[in-house]
Each structure stands twice: as C-alpha cells, then as structure tokens.
Amino acid sequence: MIQQIAILGCGLIGSSWATFFASQGFRTKLYDIDPATSQRGTQQAEDNLQKLVELEALSEEKLEEAISNLLPVKSLEELLCDCDYVQESVLEDYDVKADLYREMETFLSNRTIIASSSSGLLMSRMQQALEHPQRSLIAHPFNPPHLIPLVELVPGKQTSRETIETVRDFFLQLGKQPVLLKKEVPGHIANRLAAALWREALSLLDDDVASLEDIDTALCSGPGLRWALMGQHLIYELGGGVGGYDHFIETIGSSFSTYWEDMQTWSQIPESAKKKAIEGTSPLFEKRTREEWLAWRDEKLIKIQQILEE
Ligand SMILES: NC(=O)c1ccc[n+]([C@@H]2O[C@H](COP(=O)([O-])OP(=O)(O)OC[C@H]3O[C@@H](n4cnc5c(N)ncnc54)[C@H](O)[C@@H]3O)[C@@H](O)[C@H]2O)c1
C-alpha cells in the first residue's frame, strides 16, 4: 500500500506533484540536489495549496493538514529511507536520471516504486541502471500535475505487471486519469500529439500565415473547446455524420492529404521560427503579467473540470 511519498526534484513539476500528493493527505517528503530549490519548491507547493483553497478546490479545514504533509529533507537518504513511492522529476537527461537511480537504490527497500515524470525518455533505457528494475516505470503528468488529471503510464521492458497495476490503481483512487502505453515511444502519447501540433503552429507563424495570437485563438476557440470533451478519433467519428468515421475518412480525410503534403516535416526548430515565436508572445504580457496568466489558467482549469464532472 502506498502511504509515504518522496518527491525527487523540486522544480516546476516536482513542486506541483508535491501539492497534489499533500492535498490528497499523503506525507510527502521533498528533496532537490539544490537546497535553495528544495525550499522554493516546498514554498511553491504551500502557495499552490493556498490557491486551491481560494479557488474552492480544497477545503479550508484540509489546508493546514495538507501544508503539514510537506516535509522538505536535506539528503537523498532521508528522502528515501521510509518511502513507498518516489515521483522522480529531475532534469530530462538519461545520464542524470541513470546516475541518480544507481544512487537511490542503495537507500530504497525493494518494495518501493520509482515513477519518473519524464516527458519522453524511454524507461527501458533508464531502468538499466537499477538492480530491481521491475518496480520502475514512467508516470508522466501534464503541467501542472496538481490540476491536470492525465498521467501517462509507460512501463519499461523490465517493469513488472504488479508495478503497473499498483500504480494504475493508486492514481485511479486519487481521481487521476491514467492511460497505459502498450509500447514505449519517445514522447509517449500526449507529447507526440503536442509535438505534431506545435511544429505546425510554429510553421504557420514562420510562414507568416497568421499572427501568433490568431494561431493560438484558432486553436483554443475552435478545436480546443472540443478537446476538453473528446479526442480526435471520436470528434471525427461524429464529424462523419450518420456515415461515421468510415465516411469521414473516405471523404474529408482525402482533403487532409493536401494539407499533409503542404506541411513542414523538420525536426529542428528553424531559427526564424524561434525568433518569431519568442517575439510574438510579448504582446500577450500587455494583457496580463505571467503570474496573472498562471492564476487565470489555474482558475479556468478547475472550472472546466468541475463542468466535466457534473
Ligand atoms: N516542464 C513541464 O511542462 C513538464 C511536464 C511533464 C513532465 N516533465 C518532466 O518532469 C521532469 C522535471 O521537469 P521540470 O520542468 O520540473 O524541470 P526543472 O528544471 O524545473 O526541475 C528539475 C529539478 O531537478 C533538480 N535536480 C537535478 N538533478 C538532480 C539530482 N541528481 N537529485 C535531485 N534533484 C536534481 C534540479 O535542481 C531542478 O530543481 C523532467 O523529466 C521533465 O521531462 C516536465
């Protein structure tokens, strides 16, 4: 049974995971190789919890308990000595993660599960560093993990069935939406979809088809609204009318070939696209500061999910 959580790496994702587990009533230790980040991450998690109360996503009575669940520690040994589940959220780099896994294992009991937040690395490669690889897998969240329900579970070749089941049941019990990959691919599911879309969003900008703001509006005021409800396959099944997906593929699907033929296929972001993207976001900050955008995002994310739960 998972009771004691260890957050390894307290940057953007680690601090948000800590918020989530602490709000769910788990004793949650936090450690970062950089002591200042460890403190900052803990403070960030506290601030997140406070904001959850303001947004009525956490009750005032549970706030104190949730904050007391956050326990920053000073060493890896202290972090891991009595934990059941480690959510590793350190730098996205094979060598950094592998070195860390080797070191971690000296402090872990062999029942402890190691879950990596990795956005797109392969677990089979990372778990080669472990003597007990069967208890490791990827549990990839979407930012911010304390507000977005998706968790992509990606087993490596040596991950045991028991580990997969335990982690899947754990997240289901906590109200998350786990999806299980049948095979490993770089970027899992959601980031591959995001990567395809992002390349096109950058290409449209680079080719001066529209402004950055209009490209983003075309997404969030159109398909984005439907995506909160249903995925691409169901959308196009319904888009085919009474003929369903079959009809959609045979008719509208063929015109998509014209678009695909016209699309860029680069795998390195062109310098010109980088420049336009970075310059193009500045007007957005005339409307709201970064902090205001984040607060706005979090408030709307909670409201959307409340509607979906109705
Ligand atoms: N940023 C995102 O949107 C996002 C979303 C989902 C998953 N992820 C994944 O989460 C992980 C962390 O990403 P992030 O955006 O939080 O990065 P980040 O740079 O904000 O945080 C990484 C933290 O890891 C710490 N760290 C590095 N080596 C360490 C070690 N050996 N021991 C302990 N701490 C160490 C760093 O000091 C840093 O604070 C990555 O694997 C990333 O792919 C990121």
Provide the phi-psi class of 9: left if phi over 0, else alpha when psi is between -120 and 50, else beta: left
**Ligand 1 near 9 CB (within 6 A):** yes
Q: Cβ neighbours of residue 276 under 8 Å, at least 6 residues apart? A: 205, 206, 212
Mutate to test the pocket of ligand 1, among 91, 121, 176 (most ligand atoms within 8 A of CB): 91
Closest Cα to residue 75, out of 23, 109, 133, 31?
31
CA distance 131 to 310: 46
Q: Can you read off the two tokens belonging to residue 18?
A: 């800590």
Q: What class is the 4-180 domain?
A: alpha beta
CA of 68 to the centre of ligand 1 (A): 24
190-309: CATH topology is: N-(1-d-carboxylethyl)-l-norvaline Dehydrogenase; domain 2 (1.10.1040)
How many Å lie between the centroid of ligand 1 and the Cα of residue 95? 13
Q: What letter would DSSP give residue 122?
A: -
C-beta of 37 in contact with ligand 1 (< 6 A) = yes
Tokens of 164: 């997969």
Residue 159: closest CA among 190, 113, 121? 113
Nearest to 44 by CA among 17, 79, 25, 6: 17
Distance from the alpha carbon of residue 85 to the mean position of ligand 1, in angstroms: 17
Contact between residue 30 and residue 41 where contact means Cβ atoms under 8 Å apart: yes
Locate tokens 């169901």: which residue? Answer: 234
Per DSSP, what are the bridge partners of residue 7? 30, 87
The tens place of each residue's pLDDT in the chain, 310 residues long, gives 899 999 999 999 999 999 999 999 999 999 999 999 999 999 999 999 999 999 999 999 999 999 999 999 999 999 999 999 999 999 999 999 999 999 999 999 988 999 999 999 999 999 999 999 999 999 999 999 999 999 999 999 999 999 999 999 999 999 999 999 999 999 999 999 999 999 999 999 999 999 999 999 999 999 999 999 999 999 999 999 999 999 999 998 889 999 999 999 999 999 999 999 999 999 899 999 999 999 999 999 999 999 999 8
Strand spans (E) along 110-257: 113-116, 136-141, 150-155, 177-180
Q: Where are the domains of the chain?
A: 4-180, 190-309
Answer left, alpha or beta for residue 175, where phi above 0 means left and psi between -120 and 50 means alpha: left
Edge-first strand listing for the sheet containing 150-155? 70-72, 27-31, 4-8, 85-88, 113-116, 136-141, 150-155, 177-180
pTM: 0.95
- The gap between the terminal CA atoms of the chain, to the nearest Å, is 31
pLDDT of residue 290: 96
Tell me the per-residue pLDDT of 113-141, one tens digit each, with 9 for 90 and over: 999 999 999 999 999 999 999 999 999 99
- Residue 92 phi/psi, 5-degree rounding, is -80, 80
